[in-house]
Amino acid sequence: MKTINEKLSMNRLSLSRTIFNLATSIFVLAIFVTQILIADISQKTFADEFKVHLQKRIAQTNANNSASQSVEYKIEVKEETWKGEETAIVICDMWNKHWCRGATSRVAEMSPRMNEVLKAARAKNVTIIHAPSDCIHKYKDTAARKRIEGKRDSDFEKKFQSNSWFKGLLPTEKGAVWPIDQSDGGCDCEPQCKQGRVWSSQIDILEIDDNKDLISDSGTEIITYMREKGIKNVILLGVHTNMCVIGRPFGLRKMVTYGQNVVLMRDLTDTMYNSRKSPFVSHFKGTELVIEYIEKYVAPSITSVDFLGGEPFSFKGSKETTK
Ligand SMILES: [Zn+2]
């Protein structure tokens, strides 16, 4: 038989064990909750960051053939982490209709993938700028238009001619040879299409978020907005790489001049190139040659894979005809 003292002492032992267990449980729970909170905060901090893979072609200096005309280029891919709020996508001239029926159908073909890129980028707080040149009046009553309309820094405009096309070449293009003959306008169709201004809006497949996006074809408005908002990274996509994408007031060469960190999304673009013209390669090979030129002399390129994963976009039939 246990004495009363023994019983009391056992009860006390049991009580202290219970208190100890309870304290341990609370401690473990507190650590668990803290970990969840930390994970949540870090997710919020990094939610609008994303990785991009910038491709450039770097000239190789070879001591043995320094006198040779042919310089070899090596592809270099650099990974960078960009913040959404410091980045904009500029969609160049993705019109509802082009005077060239081949160009019109290729715009339609790449639009669904492009729209997915825009959605993914918006979710990362990237600013989306729709730039269907000559068609801006159609959007005059939208919030997306009003958000950027009239933005102007006249000193900057004067210094960089931000309201006009880029003329000539960048200093980095000195001595470079343009890879295709586009003097005929670049229609690859048979019979040839009749040239004219037939576009009236951006293609409908590309959704415009009127609560967030911008609409402008003005270099001055676009660069002023970017500078005001601290946007330094610019992704150019759309058409045509050898004309508007490289030359417009918001195009690649101008963005380089403005000091922006600009890249071309190389799988969501096209060229105006007629394969019956020099260098007599397929239409799609012509596009590749222009992209190579850009990667050598103008700006790096990325692909839609950085936003969507999977494989880069390619036009139907491009893989068979690229030679
Ligand atoms: Zn055509």
> Tell me: the pLDDT tens digits for 261-317?
999 999 999 999 999 999 999 999 999 999 999 999 999 999 999 999 999 999 998
Quote the pLDDT of residue 19.
Answer: 76
Instruction: List the CATH number of the domain containing 246.
Output: 3.40.50.850
Do 53 and 42 lie in one domain? The reply is no
Enclosing domain of residue 36: 1-46
Query: Over 90: is that where the pLDDT of 15 sits?
Result: no
Query: Over 70: is that where the pLDDT of 233 sits?
Result: yes
Do 18 and 94 lie in one domain? The reply is no
Q: What distance in angstroms lies between residue 274's CA and the mean position of ligand 1's atoms? A: 9
Q: What distance in angstroms lies between residue 102's CA and the mean position of ligand 1's atoms? A: 5
Quote the pLDDT of residue 186.
Answer: 95
Quote the pLDDT of residue 3.
Answer: 61
Q: What distance in angstroms lies between residue 100's CA and the mean position of ligand 1's atoms? A: 4
Q: What distance in angstroms lies between residue 132's CA and the mean position of ligand 1's atoms? A: 20
- Tally of structural domains, the chain: 2
Q: What distance in angstroms lies between residue 255's CA and the mean position of ligand 1's atoms? A: 29
Confidence of residue 41 (pLDDT cuts 50, 70, 90): low
Q: What is the amino acid identity at position 19?
A: I
Do 128 and 86 lie in one domain? The reply is yes
Q: What distance in angstroms lies between residue 246's CA and the mean position of ligand 1's atoms? A: 21
Q: CA of 206: how far to CAs of 48, 73, 110, in Å?
A: 22, 36, 10
Q: What distance in angstroms lies between residue 128's CA and the mean position of ligand 1's atoms? A: 29
Q: What distance in angstroms lies between residue 216's CA and the mean position of ligand 1's atoms? A: 27
Query: Over 70: is that where the pLDDT of 7 sits?
Result: no
Do 214 and 269 lie in one domain? The reply is yes
Query: Over 70: is that where the pLDDT of 106 sits?
Result: yes
Query: Over 60: is that where the pLDDT of 322 sits?
Result: no
Residue that wins the pLDDT comparison between 322 and 140: 140
Do 106 and 14 lie in one domain? The reply is no
Instruction: Give CA–CA dist 95/244, Å, rounded.
Output: 12
Q: What distance in angstroms lies between residue 265's CA and the mean position of ligand 1's atoms? A: 24
Q: What distance in angstroms lies between residue 96's CA and the mean position of ligand 1's atoms? A: 15
For the record, the structure tokens of 3 come out as 């004495």
Q: What distance in angstroms lies between residue 303's CA and the mean position of ligand 1's atoms? A: 26
Provide mean pLDDT across the span 214-233.
Answer: 97
Do 111 and 234 lie in one domain? The reply is yes
Q: What distance in angstroms lies between residue 187's CA and the mean position of ligand 1's atoms? A: 4
Question: Residues 3-10: contacts with CB within 8 Å, 24+ apart?
Answer: none
DSSP states of 122-180: HHTT-EEEEE-TT-GGGGTTSHHHHTTTT---HHHHHHHTTTS---S--GGGTT----S
For the record, the structure tokens of 307 come out as 């936003």
Do 123 and 147 lie in one domain? The reply is yes
Q: What distance in angstroms lies between residue 104's CA and the mean position of ligand 1's atoms? A: 8
Confidence of residue 4 (pLDDT cuts 50, 70, 90): low
Do 241 and 123 lie in one domain? The reply is yes
Residue pLDDT, tens place only, 178-211: 999 999 999 999 999 999 999 999 999 999 999 9
Instruction: Give CA–CA dist 321/323, Å, rounded.
Output: 6
Q: What distance in angstroms lies between residue 105's CA and the mean position of ligand 1's atoms? A: 10
Q: Look at residues 203, 194, 171 and name the one whose alpha carbon lies nearest to residue 270.
A: 203
Q: What distance in angstroms lies between residue 195's CA and the mean position of ligand 1's atoms? A: 9
Query: Over 70: is that where the pLDDT of 10 sits?
Result: no
Q: What distance in angstroms lies between residue 101's CA and the mean position of ligand 1's atoms? A: 5
Do 256 and 187 lie in one domain? The reply is yes
Residue pLDDT, tens place only, 138-168: 999 999 999 999 999 999 999 999 999 999 9
Residue pLDDT, tens place only, 119-141: 999 999 999 999 999 999 999 99
Quote the pLDDT of residue 265.
Answer: 98
Quote the pLDDT of residue 271.
Answer: 96
Do 222 and 92 lie in one domain? The reply is yes
Q: What is the amino acid identity at position 159?
A: K
